[in-house]
Each structure stands twice: as C-alpha cells, then as structure tokens.
Structure 1
Amino acid sequence: MTGEDWTELGLAPTADHREIRKAYARRLKTIDPEADPDAFIRLRTARDRALSQDPDRQFAVTGARTDAEAAMGVGNGEAPDADPNLEPAADAEVQPAAAPDTSEEAPPEPVLLAAPFQRIESLLFDPDVRPDPIELQQIVTEILADPALERIDIAQWVEGFLADTIVRGTPLSDPMIDPAAAHFGWGQDGNQISRPPIIDWILQRREDSIFEAGLIAGSPEYATILHALRAPPPTQLGERQVRRQSVRVEYLLSYFQTLHPTMLATLDQQSIQFWSDRFVAEGAGNGFARKLREWEKDRIWKRGLWPVERRGDWLIALCIFLMPYLFAWALLRPGYSRVARFVGFGWMILVVAAMLTNPDKPSELKEAPALDLERTRLVSSEHDLPPLLSDYAGPELTLGAMKTRNKPLHDLLVQRWTALRAGDRRTWDLERSVRETLNDALGAGLRGGEYDIHRRFWQFRVDRARTFQQEDAAKCDAFLEGTLPGQVFPPEIEEERRALVREVLLRPLSNAPPRRTGTYRIPGSVVADARALSKLGAPRFDAALERRGTAAEHCAVGIALIEAAISAPRKVGRTLLKDMSSAL
C-alpha cells in the first residue's frame, strides 16, 4: 500500500474498512468508467490494497510536496461541487514500513441476487400484492449491505434502480427513501446543481411524505379528500356532494402546488382533470351561485388545514343557547312593566344586531394562496418562459436576449416547452424542466468556457469562501469540499452570482464542453505561491493539503490555491483554470 493509493482514495492512512469503503464510494461518483477506464482501475486497485493491508502497519511520509491535485466545485445549487483530491509530488517519497502480502489469490467478485429487486417490483407494481412498508425497508437495507456494491458499475446501477423505482412507485415507495438516501449520501452535500433532478425530486418527496403523515393524522376531512383524489374521478357522486367538496379540493390542490409539489404526482391525473374542469364550470356559473362559492372559498381559505378549535363545557354552551329564551319568557310573565320589557327585548335585539354586523375576526391561518388551475396551463413560450428565466438569474436574463446571443439554448428551451404543451403538462412541469436545462447549460458553460469566464468563476468561488471564513472556519472548509447545504450569501455576492450565471448562459459554446474529470494537477510554482499566500508556513500548509490540521487551515489552503491559480501567468493559468473547471 503506497501513499499514492491513499491519495487515489482521498483518505488518510487508516485500517478502518468502513471508512475505506466510504472514501471509495465518494470517489466513484467523480469517475466515468467508460470515459476514463484507467482512473477506475487505479481507484479499484487502491481500494483492494487498502482493504488487504495489515491493520498494524504504520506509514512514514518524507520529502517536500511540490505538486497538488484539488477539485473544487461551486455549491449552493449553481454548479456541481467535487471533493478536493490531493496527489503527492513526483519527488516525494512515500514509504510503507512493510509491504502488503499479495501472494494470496483475490476472492471472486460478488454478484447481486435478483430476488430482492423482483420482490420490490412485485410489492410496488403488482395490483394483487399489498405492499408492506417494513418489508420494503428491510429489502432495501439488504440490497445496500450486499458486498457486490463495492463494484462501481453495480453501485451505480443499484443507485439508478432505487431512484427510478422510488419515483415510479410514489407514494408506496416512500419507505425506501431514507435507507437509500443515507447509503448514497443524497442531500448530504452542497452539489445541488450537479445532483440529478431525480434526486432533488426524491428529497422533496421525503419532506412531503412527512407532511402527508401529519395531514392524515391531524385532519380527517382532508385525509378523506386526499384518498378520493388518488382514486378515479367521482362520477358516482351527486351534484350536491360534488359542489360541497369542490372548494375543499381546490384548496388542497393549491396547498400541494405551493408547498408540497410531489404530492401532485401521487394523485390520479384523471381525477385532477375532472376537478379542474369542475372549478372552471363553477366559476362561470350564475351570479348567485358564483357569489355563494366565493363566500365558501373565502371561508375555507381562512380556516386552513388545521383550524384552531375552541372547545367549552357542554353545560355552559347549553345555558348560553337557552338564555335568550329564558330571559324572554321571564319578561313576558305578569308583574313586569312595559318599560322593563322594552328595555329587555331592546337589549336582546341590540346584541343580535351587533353579532350580525360585527362577525368574529377570521382565523389568521391562511395556509396557501388561491389556485386557479386554468392558470397552470401552458399558454405560449413567450408568456411562460420569461418569468422562469428571471427567477433563475434575474430580470436581465430575457428570452429575447437569449435568442440573440445564445440561440441554441433558446431553441432547446422552446423545444422543451413545445413537448410539454403537446402533452398538456402544467406550469410546475415546465419549471422543473427549465431549471434542469439551465443547470446543464450552466455546468457545460463553466467547463467549456473561455479564460475570462474561468477567472470570474473561481474569483467568485473565493469571494463566497471568504464570507464563510469570516463567520466560521468549519463552514468555509465544508463549502470548499462541497458538503455545506443551505447556503445564504449577502446581497452583493448573490448579485455577483446572478451576473456570472447570465454571462455563462448568454455565451454559446464554440465547441462541445469537455467531460467531467475527477482530478487535475496543479504546477509546483502555483503550489509555492499558494503556500506563501496562506501564511501558514510550509509544515502546516503541507499538513493541510493532506487534510490534517484544523478547519481554519484547510480553509486558508483552499482559498490560497484558488487565488494562486487565478494570479498565475496567463499561459499557466489558462491551462490550470481550464483543468480545474473541467471538474465542474
């Protein structure tokens, strides 16, 4: 086992097999076996050597580091992140105290069993089988514990199978999400833009399934409506029942679209269409019926899913109900003067009038805005696409500017819109498709961009890292590694991000972008400049390159390496920044 093997794994020397396998799995995601089979072979060999080493063996590292490998991404959902990977210099010596014994024949490669996958398909998609959530979780856990997943091709296939099955089987597949997400690290890093859209959808579904459980437990009325929306259209219901449920169904669909979009995918699409047509018909009804519906709609919207309930003792309620009648009976008995009766009945009339003219203050629980499903239909590309472009990169990113400056991307967006419109898809489908298309275009534009784009991007990367460095060194370190979720930046940096995104998207690529690469080499001169910029001194700088030392040192080294690459001579910097960007 050599130091190069540990560098290939991106891991400090260790005898912990679990950590070795985790490091191996992380590095797998940065390698394309078809495009770079040699990298896969090196990684696989490094893993095998690490797992076969003597746990009591110690390593000694000597020599000065002159070169380094690093892969630093964007994070915050704008472009993919990659874990930093460092490689020792050619003149460094990495000497193990004892060589591993490789005389024994390697064990045969494990093979996946087909039965668990067939059982999952049966549980989710066989109408004659009732799925058991506990059994589903057990099967997924069994699959993920299979040693065969140590192979890159098998691990990738299993991840793809589980992701696709979870989406196709929603909501029955919800129990599969947690074990799969924990194993493959879905949502545990800041690579929102490089993360496949299907994984984003699954993570949203995990949140929405928690909401669904709370809805079923806490709101029986809307739980019944949810169950009905997952069934075929209610053609057997009478007109009165349909009219009574219409406003509540519209409210629930509005709530789903606004806060829990994956819930819409769990519903029967014909049922949604039935109710959508119903909303339109009722909105075009006669004046009295329409006003009555608007009054009911306002009441339902103000009440919310979980209205505040006011409960009182039933005896007190009965007394309050009977009090006016008892009071009137007493006043009508002989012995009361006409004045007393006038005052008593007058007071009751005033109370009733006050109640009618000053209704109780409505509840403040407004759960979601009103939804007109007709407005969710696609109208035209000129109408539907501009708001999505503005949300993505600011109002300066217009459809007209894109058509003039980057017509291929403009035509692709219009083509996606046309396909969705032909399939009678809704605005939320277009929003997801546009974001996916722009994310892909942004990543390709950063990888295949010109020198000035690369310089701007990596300078922006430094600016963002420094905002975290001032707050918390651990956050800065996690950001540079691409493991910091939920990043929020000051307005000036956010505007800098949007300006860069607009510049990339409005500049067409002259050539196809290069394939993503997992590692790249930084020249020794750049490493020397970074060592000086970090102000850590050679020992601490070199230790931080090996992922040793404090988070503050890791942060300082990461920033210094990027700044040194930006300020390098043009000939060196152009090649280096291009290689660094090819990892995006």
Structure 2
Amino acid sequence: MRQWWRVLGVPRGSDRATVRRAYAAKLKVTNPEDDAAGFKELRAAYEEALRWVDYQQFDDWDDEEDEAATEAARAGLTLTPIWEEIAPDGDALPEAEPLPPPEPDPLEVERAADAAEFERRFAELEAGLRGPWFKDRDGIRAAFDAVMAAPALIELDRRAYAEYRIAALIADTIPRSDAILREAMAAFGWEGEGNHPPAVWALRARLDEWRLIASFGRGHALERGWRALINGKSPNWLRRLRALRPGTAGQVRQLFDLADYDVPGIAHSFHPKAAEWWRAHLDAPRFGSVEVALLLLGGVVAALFAVLGATPAVRLWGAVGAGAGGLVLSLAHWRFVTPMRWRAARQGVVRSRGAGWRLGLWLVLTAAAIGAPATPLIAWGLGAAFFILSVAIVVSDGTDENAALGWQRIVVLMVAGAFIGPAFFAMTLGEQALVILFGLSAGWVGSSARGTIARVIAPRPVLIALGIMIALIAGAIVRSNLMPGTPLIAWGAAAGTSLVLMSGLRAGDPDGRGSGVAALANMLLWAIVIVAAVMSAPEREKGGALPPPISVVPADPMKALEASEPGFRALKTGNPKLYDEVAAIRKDMAAGKRDQDEGYRAIDALVNNAYQKRLPLVGSALIAAEMDIRLARARELRKADVRACAGERDIEGNLLSREFRQRHYAHALEVAGAPLLVLRELSKGREVPLMELLQTATNGDIAAANKLADALEGKDATAKCDARIAMLEALVALDDADIARTMRTALTQRGKAKAEKK
C-alpha cells in the first residue's frame, strides 16, 4: 500500500486541516461504486494521516516539556506546573481571558449536512411505507432512489449503517415494500451468499414467496384455489357455486395451510373479503361436489328409465325411483357422511380400516363382469353392486376431494365417448345400465379414494398395480375368445378397474417412477377401451351389412359383390332389372362418383324394396323360410330387448346377431330374384284361421287360447313377446303350402302399407 501522504498528495508534516482539505478534494473525484479499491485506499490513507498528526502533536509537546525541565535544572530552579501555581495568600490566580472559539472544520460541516440530508430522505421513505399517508408504488420507488443517491452513503461506515436500517424497514413493511424489494436486493448485493443480518434473510424469503406466487398461474395444481382467494369482486352466491366444483375447496384449504405454516407471505396476496368467506365456508361441513354428483347420477339413471323402460309403468316408476334415490343419497351424504368425514379430518383420524377387503371385493365384481354372460339380470345386478360398493368405498375410505377434470382428460373422454357411442346404443338395456353405473362408480372411486388405494398397494405399488392390470386384461382376452357377446363389457371392466388402480399408483408416487408407469398404462388402457368399442359397434355402423369396399376394384365391379354374396348372381336371370340397377351403382362406386357407404345403402334399399314387393308372390318354400326366420328373430329379440320383440319399438339391426343378419340378407336376395307365381299357384294350400292357430299353440286349451289372444293385444311387453313366439312356432309347424296360403294376404297388405308410407 502506498504511503498516506502520497495518496492524499500533501507533505508528510501537514497539519490536520491540510489533511482534511486534501481528503475532501480527493473524495469528490473518487466514487465507491466505480472504484471501490481506490475509495478504500483513500479512506485508509485519510485515517492513517489523522493518526499520524495526533501522534506527532503529542510527541512535540513531550519534547518541549523535557527541554524546559533541563534548562531549569541548570539554573537551580524548580518548575511548578501552571495548574499548581496559586497566590501566596491561598487565592487562585486570576482567570485567564477565554480563548476565541476554534474555526469550524469545513469537512465536518459538510459531513453533518450530508447526514442530515440522509435522515430527511430516509424519513420520507419510511413515511411512505408506514403511513399514515402511504405513497403509491411509483412514489415509493422515487423515495428509495432518493435515499440511495444521498451523498452520505459514499462513506463506508455510514453506508453499512444505512444498509441495516433499510433492510429492517423493508422487512417490517412487507407487502408495501415489495415495490422496492428487487432494487434494494440488487443495490446491496443481498442475493449473494454472506453474513447478512436477519432482516435480509427475511427479504430473501420474500423473493421465494414471489416465485411461488408466480407459479400459481395456468397449469398449477392449485390454480383454481388461488384464483378463488385473490378474486374479491365475485358475489357470495357465485363463490358458493364455484365451491361446488370438485377440488376447489381442497385447493383453498391447501393454500390456507401453506399460509398458516410454511409460506406466510402468500397471505398478503389473498383478498381479505375472499379469504374471510372461504375460512367461514371451510369451518363447517357443506353441501359440495359429491352431493351434486349423486344428484346428477340419479338424474342420469332416471332419464335412462324414462327413455328405455320396457313398459309405461317401468318408465314412470323407474324414473321416479332413480330420481328419488339420487336425492336421498345426496341428502344422506350431506347430513351424515360429510360431517363425519369433516370431523375426522379435523381430528387427523385416518378411516381406512378394511379398505383392502373393499378393494378386493371390487376386483371380484370386475372378474364377474368379465366372465359372466351379460344377461339382463346379471347386468343390472353387477351395475347395482358396483354402485353400492363405490358408495361404501367413498364413505369409508374417501380422503381426497374429487379431482378436477383438466382439458386433457376432457379431450380423452370426448374421444372415447365418440367411439363408445355406437357400441353403447347397440347394447341391451341391462348392458347399458352396467356400463353407466360401472363408469360412474369407477370414476368416483378413482378420484375420491386415491390415497386409500395407494396405501393398499403400498408394499409393492408398481408390481401390484401392473400385476392386477395384466391379469384383468388376460381375463378379458380369454372371455372374448370363449364366450359370445359385446367385447366392450369385458374389456371396459378390465380397463376401468385398471385405471382406478393407476390413480392410486400415481397418488402414492406423484413425482417418481409410479407416476410415469401410470401415465403409460393410462394411454394403453384408453386405447383398449376405444378398440373394444369399435369391435362392439354393430356392422351397420362399420359400413353396412354388405362387405366393406375393397381397395382394388376389378374390371367388372359386380364380380367382387357376387363373390361375397352369391345371391346377387341369381338376380341376372330372376330379376335382371334389379341386377342392372345394382351394377350401375357399383360402377359409380368404382369410378369414385358415389361414396362407398352411400352406395351400399342404396343397394340395400333396392334389395329390400324388391324383397318386400315380391315376397307375397314367390313359392311356398320361400314364405315358409320367411316365417322360420321371423321366429328366429323373435327369439333373439326376447333375449336382447323385449319391447322390440313385442313390436313397441323399432327393431335395430344391432340387436340381432351377425349370423342371423347374414341369413336374413341371403334370404332377401333369394326372394328378390325368385320367379313370381301365377294366380293358380298362389291359391294352393289351406288358409288356417287365427283361432285354430291359437288352439294349436295352446294344445287345444280354449282358456289358454283366449289368454294368448289377450296377451297379443295387451300392454305387457313380455307376455306379448311370448305370445308372438308361440304363434310363430304353431305356424311354422304347418305344411309349406298352408303357411304360404295363410300368410300371403297379410304379406300383401303389409307391403301395400309400407309402399303408401313411403
């Protein structure tokens, strides 16, 4: 380090005034922010110079005193200190005249003025932060900039003292001081590591709170709860409606816990009115999202009864019972289950005793849904069992708020619903009920009891969840190969239960391997559901009863059609006009002038029209075959839909098996191409009266015959269906000629009615 007199630029023997003037001159051209090292050197040289001047004055005074004592000794005199000299009479010496006051040091005067200016600016900043007349954000920033520009902060000791005061002021006035927090952190270097005062650590924690608050934007798990707490303009009735949305109350509760225990600074961002309303709302059990879900569930089931009920009585009382059941369950959950869970949550009680047994029973029901035939009784029973068990699981084991549906899940559900729709409407009423009840129950359990499922599979979560999923899928594969029926029931049950398990796997390990495995498994399971729905869709939805169009069309488009359905070949001779019309449509399809699906529908319409017109005029064997086909159709409809069997609703092709539809189409082609009989041949056989058919069907029992006749005209769909089947069985037992003669008149009248209707 250079000598002090070289740094200050003064002679070594300069007095104090000269040193101060030199320091003041150097200080004006040395900025600590631009040249920190030079400022430190100047300050050290100034302090060393002052110590040197003080030491030199003391040393000179000591030397003069020693010289005076030596001269007095040589002259034989004794020197007496001036403060010990008194008058001979004991009186004190006369007082000396007072010395004139020393001239003020210009540097000290300047330092005092700078200190006063700093205190004035600091007081203005403090008044803007503490009040009572608060400044706005721009005013606070301007006051802080004025403090930081004060000349007194040039000196290191005063700057260090000011740093402590500014840090304490900013920390004590959060959140109003947020306007200058970043500026202060940058000015004093508080973001770096070091030995900071406690107030600085509080400010660094406030920056962490800022980062957390910024993360509560779009896509955060607590986004809706955060928006509910910072929105102070919404009326209370709108807050009450938003509180019914699944997950909102749980998110608000989590934010309150964060503010009360972990990150208290986020409470400054809560709107006071909104926070007060939500604390009062969460302080008691409320009518919430679960109750709304139960009401909606009852409404959906009531709508199904009203639309799909077999009889008017079933439609009426089924809808009333389902709606009343949803209302009763909702009120019971609100008045009993919700208070019980609320008290348990406040006491920290975990109520999951027996959760393993309930989950095991769910797996048993899933295995039954996969393996058992979906008869109406079994389908309704399984659907009711799933719903009752889901209620038990949610009541006993539900510890989570119902999760909200993100836009990704909504998109997945919409896509899956688009594929499931055709297959769903092709099902019987019992199968539809099973799909609806199972889907709602699985979704409810998967969203409300995730934590309990995670605890049940906790010993080996990934292994247990994947093992059960693979076993269920294997069971669906075996069932699809061995038993007939719609694949959507078996595959949907396997995939739905696996999705429930994956929700528990994700809840148990939200940021680790479990979440990744669950995400991959979810994609596979949804793909399985969609594929099963496509496989379950009726043939007409896949492209019509005829074979789908082929990629390469031969030179004669009719050859491919004749190869797939030989009946078209017979049209060449039996009905050439129809054959030419079909060939023209096939040529347009091959040339791209007509859409494939629309072309097949047009061919179906031509064949069906010819079939209806020619059926009363063809041979007896074909009419007898027609009656046998109608008997087979009635038997299949009795298993699928009694109302369709009774003629109370239109018969959809998807209610009948693929084999029956192929048989019926081949018969229709045969009728459309068969030669027409002359009048003499049409009168062969005996026309059997209706009463004779009734007695034949009842083995001659008159009372039973009358009862059967009443059933044919009655409103009981099941009895009406059975009566029709009995009549058809009696009819097909006759000779072909008698069958034809008996049915020709009815077939002719039916054909005319359809033609007039068109």
TM-score if structure 2 supplies the norm length? 0.28
Relative contact order (C-alpha < 8 Å, sep 6+): which is higher? 1
Structure exhibiting the larger radius of gyration computed from Cα positions: 2
TM-score if structure 1 supplies the norm length? 0.35
